[in-house]
Amino acid sequence: MINRNPLTRRYNAIVLGVGAMGSATCYELAKRGRRVLGLEQYDVPHNLGSSHGHTRIIRLAYYEHPSYVMLLRRAYELWREIQARVGEQLLRITGSIDAGPADSWVFKGSWQSCLEHDLPHEVLTGRELNERFPGYQLSPETMAVLQPDGGFLAPERCIVAYVNAATALGAEIHGREKVLEWQPLSDGGVRVTTSRDVYEADRLVITAGAWDAHILDFLQGLAVPERQVLAWLQPLRPELFTLTNFPVFNLLVPEGRYYGFPVFGIPGFKFGKYHHFEEQGMPDQLDRDPHDYDEAMLREFADRYFPQGSGPTMSLASCMFTNSPDKHFIIDLHPSFPQVSFASACSGHGFKFVSVVGEILADLAERGETRHNIEFFRLDRFTGHDRRPETGDRHSMPPRSPVPGPRSLSGGHFDDRISTLAETGKGAIRPFW
């Protein structure tokens, strides 16, 4: 047990959860000269959350909503900044394919974002795509957007890079130290109690991923963990699944929406199905073991659309999405305690934004506002609460918070508010599926 005097351990900011978003936030705050403590319940990095599995797609063409493109431009800049700082390639450009029926939201949405933001792109039929990239075997009537800036990030290496860069700048990061509760203080700061110690800080940033709703009660039903399973199959023709011959993809077919990658990191063509079998639950209760039936469903997809990639199984893994009702992120200040900010429910598409979310969370912690447009990530689109101060300066920090009891993290359950909240949400943002 490490024994420290909490009164001498005051930080500018504590970051709760050092996975993807938390590691980038630690770095961004340390870069600004802030005294930062990052607290992670498991190892750094680990494979029990949402940020493992060797690859995550990044793409500029964004069928989910064209508004993400501005953030993505900054995300690309910041990914290049961190990889230059640590001297390691984290981002690989392969081009990205968004494909589906001609009238599908995946194809049309991707194309729309390219047109709206003047992104270089090509529109290909299934036949043209199969000829250009023979690892693909899509039906000829499929339509695809090929956007050359797409590619993937190496998620575990990104976390390592951010943690190393943050600690080199003076951040303290503790693995295997679980946060048990947090409490707002009368001086406007926070006190955080962990499995090892007690700390105080001016700001608390909550980046606990699938555990966010344990920590922030109001996220119950709004940030819902979901089991995912990934497969790596040995390609029968490996030369078709290399970084230069196989763009990352998002593909909508009658069986569902799938995504995949060239061979990288470990052997095998990796792919998965969005929302897999739609198994939701508490993060510590979701089944982490891949089963034969998971494998069978995934293999059926590869047999049909990527037959040259559908050799022997090399690896299977499970992971967790954390979904919001409209599948857009939730990034905001705490509605009652503005010294607390959070990022949550990145709904299976958050990793590519990690670099810019780190910047946003550092802005929110420092100033209560950010230079980025995060209006469509605000919590009040679900809750209808307006936490804005009446002064009209929505981002200024209110003077002092009331001081309630500690926020214990032990409880928490998910209820069935999702559909109700989706229905009563402000409606300005359309869900994208």
Ligand X SMILES: Cc1cc2nc3c(=O)[nH]c(=O)nc-3n(C[C@H](O)[C@H](O)[C@H](O)COP(=O)(O)OP(=O)(O)OC[C@H]3O[C@@H](n4cnc5c(N)ncnc54)[C@H](O)[C@@H]3O)c2cc1C
**Of the two residues 228 and 384, which places its CB atom closer to ligand X in the complex?**
228
The window from 18-26, 142-150, 333-341, 371-379 that contacts ligand X (CB under 6 A) reads: 18-26
| Minimum CB–partner distance for residue 46 and ligand X (Å) | 6
**Of the two residues 104 and 228, which places its CB atom closer to ligand X in the complex?**
228
Q: How far apart are CA 310 and CA 278, in angstroms?
A: 24
What residue type is 58 in one-letter code? I
Annotation marks residue 319 as catalytic? yes
- Please tell me whether residue 351 binds ligand X under the rule CB under 6 A: yes
Tokens of 423: 């229905």
**Of the two residues 236 and 282, which places its CB atom closer to ligand X in the complex?**
282
Annotation marks residue 275 as catalytic? yes
- Please tell me whether residue 290 binds ligand X under the rule CB under 6 A: no
- Please tell me whether residue 57 binds ligand X under the rule CB under 6 A: yes
Q: Which has the closest alpha carbon to 307: 352, 218, 241, 376?
A: 241
Annotation marks residue 46 as catalytic? no
The window from 51-59, 113-121, 123-131, 185-193 that contacts ligand X (CB under 6 A) reads: 51-59
In the shown chain, the binding pattern of residues 167 to 186 toward ligand X, with x for contact by CB under 6 A and - for none, equals: -----------xx-------
- Please tell me whether residue 409 binds ligand X under the rule CB under 6 A: yes
Annotation marks residue 65 as catalytic? no
- Please tell me whether residue 207 binds ligand X under the rule CB under 6 A: yes
The window from 60-68, 84-92, 319-327, 371-379 that contacts ligand X (CB under 6 A) reads: 319-327
Q: How far apart are CA 305 and CA 128, in angstroms?
A: 15
Say which residues have a Cβ less than 8 Å from residue 369's Cβ, sequence separation at least 6.
Answer: 363, 394, 395, 396
DSSP state of 283: T
Q: How many helices (H) and strands (E) does the chain have?
A: 10, 20
HEC assignment per residue over 86-135 = HCCCCEEECCEEEEECCCCHHHHHHHHHHHHCCCCCEEEEHHHHHHHCCC
Say which residues have a Cβ less than 8 Å from residue 148's Cβ, sequence separation at least 6.
Answer: 93, 95, 120, 121
Q: Which of 203, 352, 381, 407 is catalytic?
A: 352
The window from 5-13, 64-72, 346-354, 368-376 that contacts ligand X (CB under 6 A) reads: 346-354
Q: Which residue in the set 34, 203, 275, 352 belongs to the binding site for ligand X (CB under 6 A)? A: 352
Q: Are 241 and 235 in contact, with CB atoms under 8 Å apart? A: yes
In the shown chain, the binding pattern of residues 30 to 49 toward ligand X, with x for contact by CB under 6 A and - for none, equals: ---------xxxx------x
By beta-carbon distance, which residue lies closest to ligand X?
19
Q: Which residue in the set 162, 264, 321, 377 belongs to the binding site for ligand X (CB under 6 A)? A: 321
| Minimum CB–partner distance for residue 91 and ligand X (Å) | 12
The window from 15-23, 72-80, 306-314, 391-399 that contacts ligand X (CB under 6 A) reads: 15-23
Q: Which residue in the set 14, 15, 21, 379 belongs to the binding site for ligand X (CB under 6 A)? A: 21
Q: How far apart are CA 198 and CA 9, in angstroms?
A: 8
Q: Which has the closest alpha carbon to 31: 206, 133, 182, 168?
A: 168
Q: Which residue in the set 76, 162, 211, 269 belongs to the binding site for ligand X (CB under 6 A)? A: 211
**Of the two residues 83 and 207, which places its CB atom closer to ligand X in the complex?**
207
Q: Which of 65, 121, 214, 275 is catalytic?
A: 275
In the shown chain, the binding pattern of residues 263 to 282 toward ligand X, with x for contact by CB under 6 A and - for none, equals: ---------x----------
2-14 burial, b for 16+ CB within 10 Å, e for fewer? eeeeeeebebbbb
- Please tell me whether residue 346 binds ligand X under the rule CB under 6 A: yes
Which stretch of DSSP H or E encloses residue 170? none
Q: How far apart are CA 148 and CA 283, in angstroms?
A: 36
| Minimum CB–partner distance for residue 62 and ligand X (Å) | 10
DSSP lists the bridge partners of residue 10 as: 200
138-160 burial, b for 16+ CB within 10 Å, e for fewer? beeebbbbbbbbbbbbbbbbbbb
Say which residues have a Cβ less than 8 Å from residue 404's Cβ, sequence separation at least 6.
Answer: 183, 184
Q: Which has the closest alpha carbon to 362: 9, 1, 52, 29?
A: 29
Question: How many angstroms separate the Cα of 381 from the Cα of each of 222, 351, 374, 424?
Answer: 11, 22, 12, 9
Annotation marks residue 178 as catalytic? no
The window from 68-76, 286-294, 345-353, 411-419 that contacts ligand X (CB under 6 A) reads: 345-353
Q: Which of 31, 56, 65, 407 is catalytic?
A: 56
Total chain residues near ligand X (CB under 6 A): 36
What residue type is 232 in one-letter code? W
What residues are labeled active site? 52, 55-56, 270, 275, 319, 352
Binding site for ligand X (CB under 6 A): 16-17, 19-22, 39-42, 49-51, 53, 56-57, 178-179, 207-209, 211, 228, 230, 259, 272, 319-321, 346, 348-352, 409
